[in-house]
Amino acid sequence: MITASDTLLQNKVAIVTGGNGGIGFGIAEGLLAASCAVIIAGRDRKKNESTLEKLRKTHTECKGFVFDANSESSRENLIDFALKTYGRVDILVNNAGITRRSLEPDLLSDLDWRQVIDTNLNSIHYLTSALVPNMKKAGSGKIINIGSMMSIFGSGYAASYSASKGGVVQYTKSCAVAWAKYNIQVNAILPGWIDTQMTDGLKTSAPVRYQEITGRIPANRWGRPEDMAGIAVFLSSQMSDYITGAAIPVDGGYSVY
Ligand code: NDP
């Protein structure tokens, strides 16, 4: 029998990387509203603190942690902090990400290529691998990786970003296959065009492109960080226990034509 408590995340603990702004903030807010305890993990201490201040106006069980996804010790410290504070981590949202653009793929610097692949793909594997033994021991877990429209489409001006986000989906499927036997579900959310710091630049530097994109979105508007909350809560709850390895667009219809 399905009960209301199956939809809630009471007594659950989540880590949201990059939870101090943008899409991560929308996801953290959603999880908190579903009664989950949330650790937001971002690099920028001040951003972490001001985000916590905002979240704590309505939600109490929220903590911040200064975290660099590309540092092994930082990843270990984050997991230690979560386990010492709550004794468990039920949900990992791998959301931290960056992009670098160039006119064409061959014009991207080696450094830009590596930083994007390291942050958006390699760090997900390393953090997930460090945490998953705990989930295996616990006999359950939810891992949510943030992909992109570029997990589906190519992008001439963001080749490393597209490569990393395509990789996120294949990595998600691989982990889903491997860990279903431990009752660990691994899924990806593919956000459409969302108004955040990452895309802010387009509005001012490429207003025509911004409008073109808007015109191609059937919902006729860019997404907002809070549009990601519902899917994140669903994929974190028992209601999605038979869904694993999925890559779900949340894009106002952008990817369907
Ligand atoms: P933002 O730039 O607003 O947020 C990016 C977040 O990632 C920040 O919280 C940032 O924290 C964190 N971050 C970046 N690098 C690191 C790192 N090395 N270690 C820890 N945290 C890090 O962008 P979005 O909210 O838009 O992006 C969030 C995710 O959503 C990304 O994976 C992005 O690729 C994806 N996405 C975004 C779309 C959009 O249209 N906006 C569309 C599709 C996917 P800090 O500032 O403290 O460094």
244 lines ligand 1 (CB under 6 A): no
pLDDT digits (tens, 9 = 90+) for 89-110: 999 999 999 999 999 999 999 9
Distance 61 CA to ligand 1 centre (A): 22
Determine the topology of domain 13-195+225-252 in CATH: Rossmann fold (3.40.50)
Average pLDDT of the chain, as a whole number: 96
- Give the count of beta carbons closer than 10 Å to the beta carbon of residue 45: 12
Task: Please give the helix or strand (H or E) that residue 46 lies within, else none.
Answer: helix 45-56
> Looking at residue 1, what is its pLDDT?
81
Percentage of the chain exceeding pLDDT 90: 91
> Looking at residue 206, what is its pLDDT?
86
pLDDT surpasses 80 at 7? no
What atom in ligand 1 is closest to the CA of residue 197?
Answer: 3
Question: Mind telling me the catalytic residues?
Answer: 161
Phi and psi dihedrals of 136, rounded to 5? -60, -45
23 lines ligand 1 (CB under 6 A): yes
28 lines ligand 1 (CB under 6 A): no
pLDDT surpasses 80 at 6? no
Sheet holding 184-191, edge to edge: 62-66, 37-42, 13-17, 91-94, 141-146, 184-191, 247-250
Task: Please give the helix or strand (H or E) that residue 197 lies within, else none.
Answer: helix 197-205
> Looking at residue 40, what is its pLDDT?
98
70 lines ligand 1 (CB under 6 A): yes
- Give the count of beta carbons closer than 10 Å to the beta carbon of residue 107: 11
Mean pLDDT of 195-214: 90
> Looking at residue 38, what is its pLDDT?
97
Residue 21 Cα distances to 3, 124, 228, angstroms = 33, 18, 13
Cα–Cα distance, 43 to 167 (Å, whole number): 23
Domain boundaries, the chain: 13-195+225-252
> Looking at residue 31, what is its pLDDT?
97
